[in-house]
Structure 1
Amino acid sequence: MSEISVRPLGEEDWQQYRDTRLTALRESPEAFVATAEEEDAYDEDFWRLRMNRSARLLAEREDGPLGIVSVGRADEEHPKTSELFGLWVSPEARGTGVATALVRAGATLARDQGQQQLTYWVGSDNGRAVAFASGFGFRPTGRRRPMRVQNGDDEDEVAMVLALGGDRGSVPTDF
């Protein structure tokens, strides 16, 4: 088995990102706000614009894409915080270190951009995702919001934060 590599995608890679994103939306529709039908209708200009709004990271092996994740700014209130979102790993690659490689690359990218922390919103009832994030070093905060995915449940998400320098065990008090 070849090694997992993670690389940033540029605007010129819009079609590869689009194809992988649509695969993710079709395979795990309950994990996303958007639907494959909605995003399949978007034109090239939309996808190129999307590529420039946030960093897109692709995990792959020689035989093709294994997963994706995006990294963008959290919000205006937290200018030194980036947000990790849209994490997806193909079913056949789950449990093989792909998610870890994507999150590690996202954290490195945010740190290299001068960010101090990385936020990852996780379904509070998703024990596997909470355990994964905790094992990586993310710590839960007091921030909650309703789930934005279309799964029909009244679940919420918790903001988990990873310190990108200094004391990795601390959680910022203003978040």
Structure 2
Amino acid sequence: MDLATVHVRQLQVAEWSAFRQIRLRALADAPHAFGSTLAEARQRGERDWRALLLRRAQFLAAAADTAVGTVGVTGDGGALHLISMWVAPEARGTGVADLLLHAVLDHATVRGGDRIRLEVVEGNIAAERLYFRHGFRRTGVRGTVGGGDVRPEFEMVLDL
């Protein structure tokens, strides 16, 4: 995949269907990496997907007309929360995750954020390496995914 052909943009509320499609793909591909499940996501209706896009900035990476990655960020100023990073298997190792992370960093700058925090499920080495490469560090805060999911996760932060 030629990185020059990949474009990252923020999804608008009217694009809820595109968000739904990539989120379902992400949950089917990597259920171990997320706190929600494919079954839960399939139960959401249009109103639910629109509401999610109202509460977050959700970025989509696409090559031509094919979605190859997504990431979300919540909060408005101060400490922002990076959520739901996913890159399609065919685009892994190509720099798409870096492009998505740069979109989050740009968004944080515009919003006046001074810190970005995120959680990584224990054992997701690729995700930890990506964030470490961009200056994120473990905080020592540990917990579980939540919502009845007891898998361990750890927090990472980047001070802007």
Q: What TM-score does the superposition give when structure 2 sets the normalisation length?
A: 0.90
Equivalent position of 1:71 in the other structure: 73
Q: 2:99 and 2:79 mapped to 1: Cα distance? A: 20
1:163–1:29 Cα change, 3 Å: same
User: Could you tell me which of 4, 7, 29 is aligned with 2:6?
Assistant: 4
Runs of 4+ in 1 over 4 A off after TM superposition: none
Contact 1:31 1:149 in 2 (8 A): no
2:100 match: secondary structure: helix
Query: Quick one: percent identity of the two aligned structures?
Result: 35
Which one has a bigger Cα radius of gyration? 1
2:8 match: secondary structure: strand
Greater strand share, structure number = 2
1:119–1:61 Cα change, 3 Å: same
Equivalent position of 2:116 in the other structure: 118
Contact 2:69 2:87 in 1 (8 A): yes
Q: Report 1:17-32 matches (<5 A).
A: 17-32=19-34
Question: Could you say what the CA RMSD is over the residues aligned between the two structures, in angstroms?
Answer: 2.0
Greater helix share, structure number = 2
Q: CA deviation at 1:163?
A: 1.6
Q: Which amino acid in 2 is paired with 1:19?
A: Q
**Count of aligned positions:** 158
Contact 2:16 2:50 in 1 (8 A): yes
Q: 1:91 and 1:19 mapped to 2: Cα distance? A: 15
Equivalent position of 1:160 in the other structure: 156
Q: CA deviation at 1:147?
A: 3.1
Q: What TM-score does the superposition give when structure 1 sets the normalisation length?
A: 0.83
